[in-house]
Amino acid sequence: MVTLSIQLPLILLMSKAIILILPLLLLLNPTSKRSSIPAVPFWVSLYDTCRGVSRLQFYKTRLQPLLDRHGAVYVWNAGRWTVLVTKPEYLLRMFRNETVVAKGGFYRKVPWGSFAMLFGENIIDSHGATWDRFASVIRPAIQKPTDIESLRERSSQLADLFLTTQKNGSLTPGVTIDPLIQRWAIAVYGETFLDSEIGCMDDPANPLESSVTAVKSNIVGPLFAEFPFLEKLSFVFPRRRRAITAIKRFEHLLVKHVDSQAPTFNGKEKLIHRLLRARERSELTEFHYRSNLKMLTIAGHENAQLALTSALWEIGVQQSVQEELLKDISTLPKTYTVRELDRLPYLAAVICEVLRLYPPISQLINRVTLDDFDLANGLRIPAGTWMGWNSYGVHTNPEYWGKSAKEFQPLRWGNDINSVNNLFRLSQAKGHFIPFNAYSRRCPGSGFALVQLKVVLVEILRKASWTADPTYHFSLTSRSVLAPRNCRLVFTPRSEESYIHTLS
The full set of domain ranges for the chain reads: 2-503
* Stretch (H or E) spanning 309: helix 286-317
Helices (H), 318-382: 319-329, 338-341, 345-357
Q: State the greatest distance between any 2 C-alpha atoms of the chain, in Å, as a whole number.
A: 73
Which residue blocks in 29-148 are alpha helix, DSSP H?
A: 42-51, 55-58, 64-70, 88-96, 106-109, 114-119, 128-138
**What's residue 496's pLDDT?**
62
How far is residue 237's CA from residue 246's CA, in Å, rounded to a whole number? 15
Total Cβ atoms within 10 A of residue 229: 13
Q: What angle do CA 190, 217, 189 make, to 5 degrees?
A: 10
Q: Give me the CATH code for the 2-503 domain, please.
A: 1.10.630.10
For residue 164, count other CB atoms closer than 10 A to its CB: 12
Q: Who's near 311: CB < 8 A, 6+ residues apart?
A: 350, 351, 354, 453, 457
- Within 8 A by CB and 6+ apart from 233, the residues are 10, 14, 240
DSSP-assigned beta bridge partners for residue 85? 72, 389
72-77/363-369 β-pairing: unpaired
Residue 223 confidence (pLDDT): 84
Q: How many CB atoms lie within 10 A of CB 475?
A: 12
56: left (phi over 0), alpha (psi -120 to 50) or beta: alpha
- Report the C-alpha dihedral over residues 207, 210, 212, 213, rounded to 10 degrees: -170
Backbone phi, psi, residue 369, to 5°: -80, 125
Measured between alpha carbons, how far is 133 from 163 in angstroms, rounded to an integer?
45
For the chain, the helix, strand and coil percentages under 3-state DSSP, each to the nearest 5: 60, 10, 30
Coil, helix or strand at residue 205: coil
**Rounded to 5 degrees, what are φ and ψ at 470?**
-65, -20
Q: Do 82 and 365 touch, CB atoms closer than 8 A?
A: yes
Instruction: Mark 369-398 as b/e (b = at least 16 C-beta within 10 Å).
Output: bbeebebeeebbbeeebbbbbbbbbbbbbe
The pLDDT, as a whole number, for residue 440 is 81
- Predicted local confidence at residue 78, as pLDDT: 92
d(CA 198, CA 205): 12
What would the pLDDT profile of 235-264 be if each residue is shown by its tens digit? 888 888 999 999 999 999 999 999 988 666
Q: Which residues of the chain have pLDDT under 50?
A: 1-8, 10-16, 19-20, 23, 26-27, 31-32, 497, 500-504
* DSSP sequence for 230-267: GGG-TTT-HHHHHHHHHHHHHHHHHHHHHHHH----SS
For residue 470, CA distances in Å to 143, 262, 317, 474, 486 come to 40, 47, 10, 10, 14
- Cα–Cα separations (whole angstroms), residue 419 to 67, 349, 411: 30, 10, 10
Residue 58: per-residue pLDDT: 93
**pTM across the whole model:** 0.92
Looking at residue 226, its pLDDT comes to 87
Tens of pLDDT along 163-209? Answer: 999 999 877 899 999 999 999 999 999 999 999 999 999 999 999 99
Q: Is 443 labelled a binding residue?
A: yes
pLDDT at 265: 58
